[in-house]
Amino acid sequence: MKSIQLRPSGVGAAFFYLVFAAGCEPQAEPGTERNACAFDATLCGSMEGATCTPVGESFSCECPAGYASAGVGRRCEDINECADGPTDVCGSAYARCNNTPQGSFTCACPAGFEKQGPAPEDPCVDVDECATMDRQAICGVATSGCTNVEAGFLCECPSGWERRTVSGDTSGMNQFCVDIDECKNADFCSAICKNAEGSASCVSTIADESSPYWRYACPSADDRLINNKTQFEMDCRCAKTQVGRPTDASHPDFAAFNRCENVTDSGNFELGTGPSVRRWRKEFGADAGATRLNGGFLDHAERKVYVGAQWKDNTATDGNPEFTYYGAILSVDVDWSSSTVGNRALVSGYTPEGQRGAGPTLRAVQDIKRGADGMLYTMSWEAGHPAQMMRIDPATGDRTLIWKEQSLLHRDVVDPSTFPASQCHNGSTVGVDAITAGSRYSLQMTLTGQNLTMAPNGDFFLSASQNGPAKGPRGIVRISADGSKCTWITRFAATNGNRYAPRAPADQGADYGLADGTGPLGGGPNNFASNPANLFYREDEAGVAWLYALDGIGSGGAGTRYYRVNVATGDRENLFSSIIGDTYSVWDPEREVLWTTGGYDTTRIVALDIVGHDGAAPTELGGIRCLSTTSDWYSCMRGPGDVDNQNRSGTFYDPLDGNLVIAHGSWGMVRVEVKTGNTYVFSR
């Protein structure tokens, strides 16, 4: 194939023409002027409206709006309308002009301006944001002042806010308000700082702002403790992590936090003055069961707790060849507003520091009641010694024996008619000549838990235990106020061969099957399996007297059953079969519940509705075991009271504020706030 190259003369663009030998004819003879526009209709461009005019062997272009030709032999080229500035074409120096390659341009208004009309050349005019926009949206806070400026706005921020330029705004003309986080200033708050929009607050988990320990709040990530403030002057629910808690022993507040320490802590600090079972235990190296606090009551008028105590000496200390139990009654000051709170004093009995009162020796004082005559009445006992009921004058400490358990054998009571009225028969039918332990003829008292309660007339109620081979029944007896008479109130089933068994040969005695009340008798899931404990006496609104008793002491109260006994008839009914405090109980007249405490393997304070409010059946209301914000009944204790095996001693209701006090075994006294679960040690 042969090609011919034609090059037009003159100034202009070069043109190249290909003439193909096969089927193509040249369009011009050599030396003849050529029409450049005829060879290429797009010489001026492909846009609509562009026309090409031959000029000699070159061309010229007529261009549509937005395009221009630079002269002969030049195509149409886009005009950059934005080159002379936005004011000329967009009508405003603030506009942003954007040239387009299609022979046109666009105008855009910056932030703070808007177009005055639809045409590109219509100017941008300033927007008054302060008048047209929501104050909250532009300034960040609805209460801000706002000043319009060209191309922006300035916010006047209220207290607690600061002005900041909008991100990316280099002009600094758009300024809004942001909250000041005052909590970043370490000096702003002495307790817990809570930032809020425009402000901040200094809060505490202690409700009383006048408390000297208000600033030592418990830190709370989820606000549960802040929303459930303690009314106590100190918050021990967080143990050792109070805000700003002093770590320097020379700090004046350092020692105060001993009250938040674990009640079983082995440190040497003491709270309160006077006789201390904790000190006795350390001095004699005695086990916790031998040296401890027991039950008693809180005297609101005197603002004192009367509590029974016991301790066991040690041969290495006093040279006594035998361990000996001793008992005492202590008073503990519970005037929370006084500097003497927690101080202890000896009321009666014998302590390593001395003794007070004349009369029979006090052994381990299990429980104390106040009689209508103002005297104190106690049950005391020592291993190998019989139980004793005593009357004690609190003014002098003098003791008078009211009743004493007798270990009568069949050989001692040959004639049953001579059996002393002050003792209760255990139902044994062992022969009169027997001298073994099984020959015991008199009832033995149970000496575990709260085994004593009193009626208003001064009668005592005690729990009775089984006597080994005697196969006697468990139950509850009444001791008359003067100690002269013992009678059965209720009996659970005895074993065949015992005179009180439900079935036995006719020759077992005339009083065989003696009435012992109706209800569970034993041998099944709803019956007594252990000795009655945690006795409580109460008369209802109709004047019916009831005794409440727990089915013995179980591991953590698990599997225990709680009974109600009609004092007049001895009839029994099972109220609860649940986890119940198994050792002591105290009536709460404000909430009308019975607080029960105790548990070998767990912290245990459980509220029982023994009345059955609004016609409902009695119910177990749950214990103070872990914090909740959904109920007025908090299910836990926090702080020094949150210790396993800690409530096997007395529990006391304080009518001053509706809270509780517990005697913590061999360690000390703990105050419990019912609503929040806050606890602290006040006597040790």
Residue 471 domain-assigned? yes
Judge if 140 and 52 occupy the same domain: no
44, 174: one domain: no
- pLDDT for the residue 206: 96
Nearest to 307 by CA among 279, 275, 266: 275
DSSP, collapsed to helix, strand or coil, labels residue 225 as helix
Distance CA 434, CA 409 (A): 8
Q: Which amino acid is at 479?
A: I
Q: Is residue 144, in this structure, part of any structural domain at all?
A: yes
The rounded distance, in Å, linking the Cα atoms of 373 and 402 is 15
User: Of 117, 147, 179, which residue constitutes the final position of a domain?
Assistant: 179
Q: How many CB atoms sit inside 10 A of residue 134's CB? A: 9
Please check whether residues 413 and 543 belong to one and the same domain: yes
Distance CA 258, CA 274 (A): 18
- Predicted confidence (pLDDT) per residue in 625-680, tens digit: 443 444 444 456 788 887 755 557 889 999 999 999 999 887 889 999 988 889 99
240/495 Cα distance (integer angstroms): 54
Task: Judge if 436 and 476 occupy the same domain.
Answer: yes
316 to 141, 284, 321: CA distances (angstroms): 77, 8, 9
* pLDDT for 508: 46
Chain CA centroid to CA 449, Å = 29
Q: According to the model, what pLDDT value does residue 315 have?
A: 56
CA 64 to CA 664: how far, in whole Å? 103
Which residues, listed in sequence order, are joined to residue 595 by a DSSP beta bridge?
586, 607
Q: How far is CA 308 from the centre of its chain?
A: 32
Confirm if 516 and 500 have CB atoms less than 8 A apart: yes
- The yes-or-no verdict on residue 456 having pLDDT over 90 is yes
Q: How many CB atoms lie within 10 A of CB 591?
A: 17
Please check whether residue 118 lies inside any domain of the structure. yes
Which of the 8 DSSP states describes residue 412? G
474 plus 416 within the same structural domain: yes
The Cβ of residue 374 has, within 10 Å, a number of other Cβ atoms equal to 9
- Beta-sheet strands, E only, within 337-419: 344-351, 354-356, 364-370, 376-381, 388-392, 399-404
User: Are both 435 and 545 inside the same structural domain?
Assistant: yes
Looking at the structure, tell me whether residues 104 and 54 fall in a common domain.
no
**Domain contains 666:** no
Is 309 inside any structural domain?
no
**Cα angle, residue 205 at apex, residues 204 and 209 outer, rounded to 5°:** 55
Confirm whether 346 is domain-assigned: no
Q: Residue written as tokens 């062997």?
A: 57
pLDDT band per the 50, 70, 90 thresholds, residue 250: very high
Asked which of 185-194, 289-298, 427-436 is least confident by mean pLDDT, the reply is 427-436
Q: Return the pLDDT at 510.
A: 45
Last residue of a domain, one of 536, 564, 582: 582
- pLDDT for res 99: 86
Residue 467, in any domain of the structure: yes
- 511 and 572 assigned to the same domain: yes
Number of neighbours of residue 224 by Cβ within 10 angstroms:
15
Q: Is 135 helix (H, G, I), strand (E, B) or coil?
A: helix
Residues 40-90 pLDDT 10s: 878 888 788 888 888 888 888 988 888 888 788 788 888 888 887 777 778
> Greater confidence, 175 or 128?
128
Same domain flag for 43 and 171: no
Q: Which of 125-134, 420-429, 594-603, 612-621 has the highest mean pLDDT?
A: 420-429
Residues spanned by the domain of 542: 406-442+451-582
- From 179, 194, 215, the end of a domain falls on 179
Residue 290 is assigned to a structural domain of this protein: no
The span from the CA of 435 to the CA of 440, in Å, is 8
Please count the CA atoms within 13 angstroms of the CA of 405 that sit on its side-chain side: 26
- Whether 87 and 113 map to the same domain: the answer is yes
Q: Which two tokens stand for residue 558?
A: 């698990």
The verdict on 74 and 87 lying in the same domain is no
CA end-to-end span of the chain, whole Å? 122
Distance CA 274, CA 353 (A): 9
Burial (CB < 10 A; 0-12, 13-18, 19+), residue 650, is buried
Q: What's the average model confidence in pLDDT over 549-567?
A: 72
Write down the pTM of the prediction: 0.76
Residue 279 dihedral angles phi and psi, to the nearest 5°: -65, -40
The rounded distance, in Å, linking the Cα atoms of 205 and 481 is: 49
> pLDDT for 476-518, tens place per residue?
999 999 999 999 998 876 766 677 776 544 544 444 445 567 7
pLDDT score recorded for residue 336:
96
Residue 175: both structure tokens together: 């300024």
The total domain count for the chain is 4
Highest mean pLDDT among 172-176, 520-524, 592-596: 592-596
User: 187-227 pLDDT, tens per residue?
Assistant: 888 899 988 888 888 999 999 999 999 999 998 766 888 88
Structure tokens at 395: 């003014």
Return the percent helix, strand and coil in the chain, to nearest 5.
10, 30, 60
Same domain, 529 and 419: yes
